[in-house]
Amino acid sequence: MVYLLTSLEVKLLEDELNKIKNESAIEDINISRYDLESDSLKDVIDDALTLSMFSDKKMIICDNAYLFTSKKSDDTSYLEEYLENINPSTILIFLLNEEKLDERKKVTKLIKKNGIYKDLSIKDIPTYVKELFKGYNISVSDIKLFIDRVGTGLETLSSEASKIMLYKDSTKDITKEDIINLTSENIESDIFTLVDLIVNKDKENAIISYNKLLLQGEDPIAIISTLANKIRSIYQTKELYNLGYKENDIAVELGVKPGYLYYMKDTLRKYDSKTLLSILEKLIDLDYNIKISNREKENAFELFILEL
């Protein structure tokens, strides 16, 4: 069998890889791993065609399988021939940390026809989190709270969910208090809150939110930089949507996850592009002025908020 697995999330690729390995009962001694950025595709196919020394089945894993994209790659004729006559005793798996395939390529058409292609991208973070808490009772609003607190990184979501489930294993009921008491709050959620307050010129609460970040040990320059990057990302995403780009194309263009874009949709509707750009320009000026004039960092940002 031949697989092509694609995702921007390395965790999802590795999870699917382990699933295939366990379902096929393949032991580590019968697994080979290649990196197609440095290893020859011909060597991979030669390996796939040979019998395993230790078992009747073996697995070959190929990282960085850019040969299925528009990027330049090795001669794929060896693989094309192999896909027409697959060795049944070899499980050959290609991993691609990207989503956009070159559908015009013969090798892409053949692997979809004769192999198994899986796009493992997460396009709906709340549904992913709900699946993480499978077997436990958690409300839709508490799922949103959980995401707001820990961010959208799959590794963090998974580890924080495991922590809560371990604590609530006896009752299986997860409450708002459990999420607040058991999870570590991610600065990402505080930055989103600060963006919202600044865009809406809620100066009093913006200063409170800013001081909360300072109490958490965040540096004012780092806050300004993170805030500017977040506003830039929202602005660019909004503009690309306005130009008619699809989610996957925007994800590739900006180097973000499609699941992150799904979660951003409500945020994008709230903000005006002109306002975002104006605030971004002011933040860039603020950052520059602090660095060249040695202005008091903490007070400079508070003054920026008050002058909005």
Q: Please give the DSSP secondary-structure letter assigned to residue 50.
A: S
Does residue 112 register a pLDDT over 70? Answer: yes
Identify the weakest region by mean pLDDT among 111-115, 146-150, 174-178, 300-304: 146-150
Distance CA 18, CA 15 (A): 5
The backbone torsions φ and ψ at residue 96, rounded to the nearest 5 degrees and listed phi first, read -130, 115
User: What is the reported pLDDT for 3?
Assistant: 97
For the stretch 81-107, pLDDT in tens is 999 999 999 999 999 987 789 999 999
Distance CA 63, CA 117 (A): 15
Across the chain, mean pLDDT equals: 87
**Residue 72's CB: how many other CB atoms inside 10 A?**
7
The residue to which tokens 């993170």 are assigned: 226
Question: Which residues have C-beta within 8 Å of that of residue 253, sequence separation ≥ 6?
Answer: 240, 245
For residue 300, the surrounding DSSP H or E stretch is helix 297-306
For the chain, what's the residue count?
Answer: 308
Question: Which residues have C-beta within 8 Å of that of residue 155, sequence separation ≥ 6?
Answer: 11
Does residue 257 register a pLDDT over 70? Answer: no
Radius of gyration of the chain from Cα atoms? 24
The arithmetic mean of pLDDT across residues 43-56, rounded, is: 86
Q: Between 63 and 193, name the one with better pLDDT.
A: 63
Question: Which residues have C-beta within 8 Å of that of residue 224, sequence separation ≥ 6?
Answer: 283, 286, 287, 290, 301
pTM of this prediction exceeds 0.85: no
User: What is the reported pLDDT for 295?
Assistant: 63
The residue to which tokens 């109490």 are assigned: 215
Q: Are 66 and 98 in contact (CB under 8 A)?
A: yes
For the stretch 178-199, pLDDT in tens is 999 998 777 777 787 888 889 8
Identify the weakest region by mean pLDDT among 26-40, 189-203, 231-245, 254-268: 254-268
7 burial level (CB within 10 Å; 0-12, 13-18, 19+): buried
Q: In what order do the strands lie in the sheet with 2-6?
A: 31-35, 58-63, 90-96, 2-6, 116-119
Q: Binning pLDDT at 50, 70 and 90, where does residue 67 land?
A: very high
Taken in order of first residue, the domains within the chain and their CATH numbers are 2-119 (3.40.50.300), 125-182 (1.10.8), 187-306 (1.20.272.10)
207 burial level (CB within 10 Å; 0-12, 13-18, 19+): middle
124 burial level (CB within 10 Å; 0-12, 13-18, 19+): middle
The residue to which tokens 């001694």 are assigned: 29
Strands (E), 2-154: 2-6, 31-35, 58-63, 90-96, 116-119
